[in-house]
């Protein structure tokens, strides 16, 4: 029997219209544009309108990716949405997107792995396509992190933004998705988390608000180390030298973390796709939005070898090596 692989047929993204600049943040908290740019690399971020939800962003990114792939709603037979900011507890965002696209019956689910959500989703969808269970999978990363950001906390509010990115995956005779590598370590859960959910509710005695909590300095160090390890793991698994990689599409959390990963790959920064400056950290949406940006501006061409990587709360981390 011929081995089936998966490949990316098309990419898409959607950003809400409203832009919040560092100058805007200077009016909200005790910070400066200079500090934010120097410590993070971020200049501005997009923020969802009050009536826009994660499903709205996900749907728009999905339609964009489907148009790029030439896929009709009737072609889609799997929907996965990586998100930590779902519209509701259930139905999951995948079901909401499915209904809006007028598709009925195919599996649709959400995947919660914080900033690694898209790469986790890509890895799962790759298996569905490679074993013949799905022929046209929609993989989305979508977030409205602004809804869980404390806009009076300068240590976190300068970092995050909203957006959505998507890819359509289909079958191929040669590997498009070459290998995915996932990991998690719950020992680091206290470095980055949201304290409350449905089961663990906020109590009157709790001092933390219902917002992202982060020990930025500590997670920074763990992130650099973890990403170095996953880059090495991906290269070793494929018996590839560092210089084989044409493009690095990293999770857009902090320019200094990205620079450290690029250094590990001995890769010049011109080969690293950066959207951080304009998007901030959009968690699960950041990697597919960056991928789409570089595909659409012509940097990433068919046949290029691309390394996607992410890490996030959990901790979770993941990489995907793809031949675009």
CA 290 → CA 57, 61, 218, distances in Å?
15, 13, 25
- Distance in angstroms (rounded) separating the CA atoms of residues 190 and 205: 19
And the tokens for 67? 């148009």
46 flagged as catalytic = no
Cβ contact 9:169 at 8 Å: yes
Out of 4, 18, 26, 31, name the contact with ligand ACO by CB under 6 A: 31
Q: Please, which residues have CB within 8 angstroms of residue 321's CB and are 6 or more apart in sequence?
A: 177, 178, 179, 180, 234, 238, 240, 305, 306, 307, 308
**Quick check: is 254 catalytic?**
no
Least distance in angstroms from the C-beta of 149 to ligand ACO: 10
231, β-bridge pairs: none
Among 85, 92, 213, 281, binds ligand ACO (CB under 6 A): 281
- x/- mask, ligand ACO, residues 179-208, rule CB under 6 A, reads -------------x----------------
Pick the catalytic residue: 22, 46, 92, 115?
115
Report how far residue 243's alpha carbon sits from residue 286's, in angstroms, rounded to the nearest whole number: 24
276 scored as a contact of ligand ACO (CB under 6 A): no
- Residue 174 main-chain phi, psi, to 5 deg: -120, 150
For tokens 């013949």, the residue is 132
Q: Which is nearer to ligand ACO, 6 or 146 (CB)?
A: 146
Residues 47-86 that bind ligand ACO (CB under 6 A): none
Active site residue 115: yes
Q: Which segment (64-72, 97-105, 131-139, 209-217) binds ligand ACO by CB under 6 A?
A: 209-217
Binding site residues, ligand ACO, CB under 6 A: 31, 35-36, 39-40, 114-115, 154-155, 158, 192, 214, 216-217, 219-220, 223, 253-254, 281, 283, 312-313
Residues labelled catalytic: 115, 251, 281
């Amino acid at each position: 029997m011929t081995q089936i692989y998966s490949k990316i047929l098309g990419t898409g993204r959607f950003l809400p219209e409203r832009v919040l600049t560092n100058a805007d943040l200077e009016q909200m908290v005790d910070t400066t544009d200079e500090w934010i740019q120097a410590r993070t690399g971020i200049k501005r971020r997009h923020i969802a309108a009050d009536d826009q939800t994660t499903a709205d962003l996900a749907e728009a990114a999905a339609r964009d990716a489907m148009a790029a792939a030439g896929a009709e709603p009737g072609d889609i037979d799997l929907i996965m949405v990586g998100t930590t900011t779902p519209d509701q507890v259930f139905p999951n965002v995948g079901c909401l997107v499915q209904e809006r696209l007028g598709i009925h019956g195919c599996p649709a689910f959400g995947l919660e792995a914080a900033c690694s959500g898209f790469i986790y989703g890509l890895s799962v969808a790759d298996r569905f396509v490679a074993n013949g269970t799905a022929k046209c999978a929609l993989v989305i990363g979508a977030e409205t992190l602004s809804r869980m950001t404390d806009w009076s906390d300068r240590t976190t509010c300068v970092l995050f933004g909203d957006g959505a990115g998507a890819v359509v995956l289909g079958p191929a005779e040669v590997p498009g998705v070459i290998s995915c590598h996932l990991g998690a370590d719950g020992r680091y859960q206290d470095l980055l988390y949201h304290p409350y959910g449905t089961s663990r509710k906020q109590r009157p005695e709790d001092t933390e608000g219902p917002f992202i909590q982060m020990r930025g300095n500590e997670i920074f160090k763990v992130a650099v180390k973890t990403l170095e390890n996953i880059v090495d793991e991906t290269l070793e698994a494929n018996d590839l030298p560092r210089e084989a990689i044409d493009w690095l599409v990293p999770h857009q959390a902090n320019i200094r973390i990205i620079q450290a990963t690029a250094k590990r790959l001995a890769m010049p920064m011109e080969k690293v796709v950066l959207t951080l400056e304009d998007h901030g950290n959009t968690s699960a949406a950041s990697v597919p939005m960056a991928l789409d940006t570089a595909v659409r501006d012509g940097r990433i061409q068919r046949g290029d070898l691309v390394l996607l990587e992410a890490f996030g709360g959990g901790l979770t981390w993941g990489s995907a090596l793809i031949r675009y």
